[in-house]
Amino acid sequence: MIEQRPVTIEQLETAAQPEKLRRIAIEPLTRVEGHGKVTLLLDDENRIQQARLHIVEFRGFEKFIQGRPYWELPVLVQRLCGICPVSHHLAAGKAIDQLVGVEQLTPTAEKVRRLMHYGQMLQSHALHFFHLSSPDLLFGFDSEISQRNIVGLINAHPDLAKQGVLLRKFGQEVIRVTAGKRIHGTCAIPGGVNKALDSSERDYLQQDIHQIITWGQGALELARKLFMEALETNQQFARIDTHMMSLCQDDGALELYHGGLRVTASDGSRMMDKIDYREYDQHIREEVKSWSYMKFPYLQHLGPEKGSYRVGPLARINNCDTIDTPLAEAGRIEFRSLNNQGLVQSTLAYHWARMIELLHCAEKIEQLLDDPDLLGTDLKLSGEMRQRGIGVIEAPRGTLIHDYEIDDDGLVSRANLIVSTTHNNRAMNESVRTVAADLFNGQEITEGMLNHIEVAIRAYDPCLSCATHALGKMPLVIELQQPDGQIVDRLIKDTQGELKR
Amino acid sequence: MTNSFEIDGITVPFSNGQTIMDAALTAGIYIPHLCHNPEFKPHGSCRLCTVLINGRSVAACTTPAGEGIVVENETHELVTQRRLLLKLLFVEGNHTCPGCEKSGACQLQAVAYHCGMLAPEFVHFYPKRSIDASHPDTIIDFNRCILCELCVRASRDSDKKAVFNISGRGIQAHLTIDSPSGKLADSAFNSSDKAARVCPVGAILPKHKGYNIPIGQRLYDQAPISQVGDVAKHQEVADE
Ligand code: SF4
Ligand code: FES
C-alpha cells in the first residue's frame, strides 16, 4: 500500500536556502514554439527540495496588439497559439462584444459560437488523449520509447488510433463549418458572428454525430478503465492538493462558454461562486518570479503562498454539481465517487475528466445541430461603445482571460491576457517536484525519472510545444549541477528518444 | 470596320483614344494592374500592367491602342517580372494577410495569386508605420498603403477636395492627409466620398466592420481576379 503523503501546493518551489542546493536542469534541445526547462534543486542530503518548470511565454503579444483596431482582435489573437486558436478567438470575441456594448448575443450568434467552441474542445481533447497521452497510459511510462507514441498505438490498437484521428477530424470540421477554415478562420465579430449554418452544413455534421458520441463513450470508458486498473498508483502519482477554479452555470452545472467564476477549496468547501468574471482582477493577482517568464496567479484573498489553484478539466469536473447532458453526467457521478467528501485531486485524473468533457461536447453538438436557431439570420447586435471589455472562456486547458481597453478612436491601449497554462504554473511545478522526489535515487538522473516527469507535465496538457510532442520525442537535457556550477551528471534525450550521458 | 489589335493571339477591337488597358478591359481580357481604375486618369506608376509590343516594354494603362499592334501579356517572362514586382510590394509594407480584414477581397493579394506568388522571397522591411483612426467612420492603416494614388486622384478629381497626397521620394514616399493636424478627422474627408471606396488594398477601410463577410463569400473566394475584376468596381455595391 502506498503511503498517504498529501502534499499541499504551499510546500512549493522556494527552498529555504537555495544557495546551498545542487541543481538538476532538464532542458529541451529544440525550441519550436516555446520551450520548457526543469530545474531541480537538491539539498545537502540529496533530496529534491525545489522544482522549477521554466516556460517561455509569448508575452510580447500584449505589446504587439497595442494600437490595433479592436475589431481585429479575435483574428489577431488566434496567432497566439497554434494549438487552441479558436479559444483565443472566442475569448477576444466575448471581450469585444462588451466594447460595442452588447451584453447578450442573439440566440443564433451565441449558438454558432458555442458550436465552434465545442468543436474546438472536442478536437483538442481527442488530440491530447489519443495522440499524446494514451500511449503512456496503455503501454506504461517505462515501456519502450519507440513504441510509446502514436505509431505504436496504431500498431497495437489500430481501431483506437483511428477513432482518435476521426474524433479530431470531426471537431476540425465543426470549426471549418463555423469559421470558414480549419485554422485561422473568422466567425466572432463585435456583437455577433459573421455567419450561421445553412441546412446542408448542418446535415453534413449531423450524419456523423451519433458515431462521434459512441466513440466518445468508448474514450471515456477507456480513460476510466486505465485509471481504475492501477487505482492506488494513479491516485498518488504527481498528486497535490489544490483549490480549483472554473466557470460554472448559476445552477452549478458544467459550463464551458459562459458563466460565473467558481472556486472550490482543496477540502471541498465552496470558496467563491457566481462571480462576474469581469471582476476577475479583484480576485486574481499575478505574482512575478525572477526565474520564470511565466507569472504565478493566485487568489488575492489568500495571498501568493496559499492562493494558488488549478484549472482545466480536473477543476471543471470537480467544481460543477451536475452536467446538463446525460452521458457525461453519468460519467461525472462515477468520477466524483472516487472521493465523495472532497475533490478528486489526482493529477492523472485530468485524463479521465478530459474524456468526460469530450463526451459532453459531443452531446452538446448533437443538441445544437437539432436546434433551428443554428440556421437563423439574426447574427449581430450593437450598442453603446465602451472603453473596456473582458472576455473569459473555458478553453480546453482551463480558464482563459482576455482583458482589453481601447482609446476614443477604437484602438487597443492596454491588454492583459491570462492563459490557461499560466493558472496551472505553480501546480505543475509542485507535481514535478513530487514525482522527482519520489524517484530520485540520490545519485544520478535515471531514465525512469525523466519519463515520469514528462508524464506529470503532460497530464496538465500545458500549451508548450515541447510538452505536446509525442512522448519519447520530447527532447530533454537533465543536468545535475552543484552550487558552484560544476555539472556532476547529465542525461540527454534527443528527438528520436536516444539517450546519451 | 472597327479598329483592332492582338493580345496573346486574341483579336481585340478598340475605338480611338482607348488605351491597351481600356480595350482589354472592355473585351474581358485581364491585364494585371493595381494603380489603374477606369474612372480616373491613368497614372502608370505601379508598372504591373507592363506588356510587350514588338519586344518593347510599355505600361498598358497609359499606352494607346494602335491598329494591328501585337501585344504580349501572359508570357512566362512577363509573369515572372510581375511576380518580382509584387514580392517587392509585399516587403515594402506590412502586408500580413492572415490577420488582415481585407484578406479575400484585396486586389494586391488577388493579383499575387493570379501571378503565382505563393510565398515571400525577400527579407521584409517591416517599416514602422502608424494607423489614423481619428475619423469616426473611416480608418487608415498606412502599413498597407502601396502608393497607387487612387485615393489622391479620387479626392482631387471626383470629390474636389484633395484630402490625400503623396510626399517624399523613393523609399521615403508616403501618403499624407491635408489637414491642420495631419489627421483624417480634421480634414474635409467624408466617408461617403469617392476616395473612401477606391483603395485596392486594406489601407482605407470603414471602421467597426472588419470580418463581417464570412470566408467563402468574400470577393475573390469564388472566382479569381481575372474574372471578378477590381475591388473598387464592387465597393459601391458592397456599401449599400
Ligand atoms: S491609401 Fe490605398 S488608394 Fe490611397 S495610395 Fe494607398 S493604397 Fe492607394
Ligand atoms: S496599372 Fe498600369 S502602371 Fe499601374
Classify residue A254 by burial, with Cβ atoms within 10 Å: 0-12, 13-18, 19+: buried
Which chain A residues contact residue B215 at CB under 8 A? 179-181, 185-186
CB contact under 8 A, B216 and A180: yes
Check CB contact of B101 with chain A, cutoff 8 Å: yes
Closest partner residue to A185 among B208, B210, B215, by Cβ?
B215
Q: What is the largest CA-CA distance in chain A?
A: 69
Identify which has the larger pLDDT, B212 or A444.
Answer: B212
Residues 6 or more apart whose CB falls under 8 angstroms from that of A348 comprise A227, A234, A235, A237, A238, A459
Most confident range, picked from A6-10, A28-32, A272-276: A272-276
Check CB contact of B128 with chain A, cutoff 8 Å: no
CB contact under 8 A, A195 and B214: yes
Identify which has the larger pLDDT, A111 or A164.
Answer: A111
CB contact under 8 A, A75 and B101: yes
Task: Tell me the DSSP string of A86-125.
Answer: HHHHHHHHHHHHHHTT-SS--HHHHHHHHHHHHHHHHHHH
What pLDDT is recorded for position B107? 96
Classify residue A2 by burial, with Cβ atoms within 10 Å: 0-12, 13-18, 19+: exposed
Q: What does the alpha-carbon distance between residue A83 and residue A97 come to, in Å, rounded to a whole number?
A: 24
Ligand 1 atom showing the smallest separation from residue B198 Cα: 3
Which chain A residues contact residue B217 at CB under 8 A? 195
Closest partner residue to B215 among A71, A72, A186, by Cβ?
A186
Alpha-carbon torsion (A405, A407, A408, A410), positive or negative: negative
Residue A404 belongs to what H/E stretch?
Answer: strand A398-406
Please give the mean pLDDT across all residues of chain A: 83
Give the C-alpha distances (Å, rounded to integers) separating A411 from A235, A444, B174, B206: 49, 54, 22, 14
Grid coordinates given for A377: 439570420
CB contact under 8 A, A190 and B133: no
What distance in Å separates residue B139's CA from the closest CA in chain A? Answer: 9
- Calculate how far, in angstroms, residue B60's C-alpha sits from the geometric centre of ligand 2: 7
| Domain coordinates in residue numbering, chain B | 3-74, 80-239
Ligand 2 atom showing the smallest separation from residue B42 Cα: 2
- Calculate how far, in angstroms, residue B163's C-alpha sits from the geometric centre of ligand 2: 22
Q: What is the pTM of this model?
A: 0.88
Give the C-alpha distances (Å, rounded to integers) separating A134 from A82, A131, A271, A282, A311: 22, 7, 34, 39, 21
Most confident range, picked from A145-149, A229-233, A404-408: A404-408
- Calculate how far, in angstroms, residue B218's C-alpha sits from the geometric centre of ligand 1: 20
CB contact under 8 A, A410 and B214: no
Q: What does the alpha-carbon distance between residue A253 and residue A151 come to, in Å, rounded to a whole number?
A: 38
Identify which has the larger pLDDT, B200 or B239.
Answer: B200
Q: What does the alpha-carbon distance between residue B78 and residue B59 come to, in Å, rounded to a whole number?
A: 12
- Calculate how far, in angstroms, residue B129's C-alpha sits from the geometric centre of ligand 1: 14
Where does ligand 1 bind, in terms of residues with CB under 6 Å? B 145-151, 175, 198-199, 201, 203-204
Which is nearest to A171 in space by CA: A267, A86, A260? Answer: A86
Quick one: angle between helices A447-459 and A425-439, nearest 10?
Answer: 160
Give the C-alpha distances (Å, rounded to integers) separating A219 from A78, A152, A331, B106: 29, 18, 11, 45
What pLDDT is recorded for position A69? 96
Q: What does the alpha-carbon distance between residue B222 and residue B73 come to, in Å, rounded to a whole number?
A: 24
Ligand 1 atom showing the smallest separation from residue B195 Cα: 3
| Range A303-329 average pLDDT | 95
Helix (H, G, I), strand (E, B) or coil at A27: strand
Q: What does the alpha-carbon distance between residue A315 and residue A306 come to, in Å, rounded to a whole number?
A: 17
Closest partner residue to B131 among A67, A100, A184, by Cβ?
A67
What percentage of chain B exceeds 90 in pLDDT?
83
Which chain B residues contact residue A189 at CB under 8 A? 210-212
Check CB contact of B124 with chain A, cutoff 8 Å: no
Amino acid identity of residue B97, one-letter, is C
Closest partner residue to B101 among A72, A100, A181, by Cβ?
A72
| Range B68-89 average pLDDT | 95
Annotated binding site of A: 62, 81, 84, 417, 463, 466, 469
Check CB contact of B181 with chain A, cutoff 8 Å: no
| Range A358-383 average pLDDT | 97
- Calculate how far, in angstroms, residue B141's C-alpha sits from the geometric centre of ligand 2: 22
Which chain A residues contact residue B210 at CB under 8 A? 69, 71-72, 75, 189
Q: Indicate whether A315 pLDDT > 90.
A: yes
Please answer whether residues A480 and A443 qualify as being in contact, where contact means their C-beta atoms are separated by less than 8 angstroms: no
Helix (H, G, I), strand (E, B) or coil at A285: strand
CB contact under 8 A, A189 and B207: no
Q: Which long-range contacts does A251-254 make (Cβ < 8 Å, 24+ apart)?
A: A251/A321, A251/A322, A252/A320, A252/A321, A252/A322, A253/A320, A253/A321, A253/A322, A253/A323, A253/A324, A254/A316, A254/A317, A254/A320, A254/A322, A254/A323, A254/A324, A254/A328, A254/A332, A254/A357, A254/A360
Q: Pairing relation of β-strands A243-248 and A309-310? A: parallel
CB contact under 8 A, A411 and B213: no
Amino acid identity of residue A292, one-letter, is S
Q: Indicate the CATH number for domain B80-239.
A: 3.30.70.20
Closest listed ligand to the CA of B34 = 2
Give the C-alpha distances (Å, rounded to integers) separating A409 from A99, A412, B6, B138, B140: 12, 9, 52, 10, 12
pLDDT tens per residue, range A412-429 = 999 998 888 888 888 888
What pLDDT is recorded for position B240? 44
What architecture is domain B3-74?
Roll (3.10)
For chain B, give the number of residues: 240
Q: What is the torsion angle, in degrees rounded to the nearest 10, for the CA atoms of residue B129, residue B131, residue B132 and residue B134?
A: -140
Nearest residue (by CA) to ligand 1, atom 3, is B199
pLDDT tens per residue, range A15-56 = 555 555 555 555 543 222 334 567 777 777 777 777 777 665
What pLDDT is recorded for position A3? 36
Annotated binding site of A for Fe cation: 466
Ligand 2 atom showing the smallest separation from residue B148 Cα: 4
Beta bridge partners of B174: B167
CB contact under 8 A, B207 and A76: no
pLDDT tens per residue, range A479-498 = 555 555 555 666 665 656 66
Closest partner residue to A194 among B98, B133, B212, by Cβ?
B212
Which chain A residues contact residue B214 at CB under 8 A? 180, 186-187, 194-195
Check CB contact of B195 with chain A, cutoff 8 Å: no
Which chain B residues contact residue A184 at CB under 8 A? 98
Q: What is the torsion angle, in degrees rounded to the nearest 10, for the CA atoms of residue A418, residue A423, residue A425 and residue A426?
A: 140
Identify which has the larger pLDDT, B63 or A129.
Answer: B63
| Range B28-44 average pLDDT | 95
What pLDDT is recorded for position B4? 95
Residues 6 or more apart whose CB falls under 8 angstroms from that of A422 comprise A57, A286, A294, A295, A296, A297
CATH topology identical between B3-74 and B80-239: no
What distance in Å separates residue B205's CA from the closest CA in chain A? Answer: 11
Chain center to CA of A111: 23
Grid coordinates given for B23: 480595350
Residues 6 or more apart whose CB falls under 8 angstroms from that of A280 comprise A261, A390, A392, A401, A403, A418
Grid coordinates given for A305: 503562498
Which is nearest to A309 in space by CA: A259, A247, A248, A240? Answer: A240
What percentage of chain A exceeds 70 in pLDDT?
80
Which chain B residues contact residue A100 at CB under 8 A? 208
Q: Indicate whether A167 pLDDT > 60.
A: yes
Closest partner residue to A69 among B98, B139, B212, by Cβ?
B139
What pLDDT is recorded for position A131? 79
Residue of A nearest to B96 (CA): A76
Alpha helices in chain B (DSSP H): 20-27, 76-92, 107-114, 150-153, 219-222, 225-228, 231-239
Q: What does the alpha-carbon distance between residue A323 and residue A329 come to, in Å, rounded to a whole number?
A: 5
**Distance between the two ends of chain B, CA-based, in angstroms?**
41
| Range B168-173 average pLDDT | 87
Q: What is the largest CA-CA distance in chain B?
A: 57
Q: What does the alpha-carbon distance between residue A108 and residue A380 come to, in Å, rounded to a whole number?
A: 9
CB contact under 8 A, B210 and A184: no
Classify residue B20 by burial, with Cβ atoms within 10 Å: 0-12, 13-18, 19+: buried
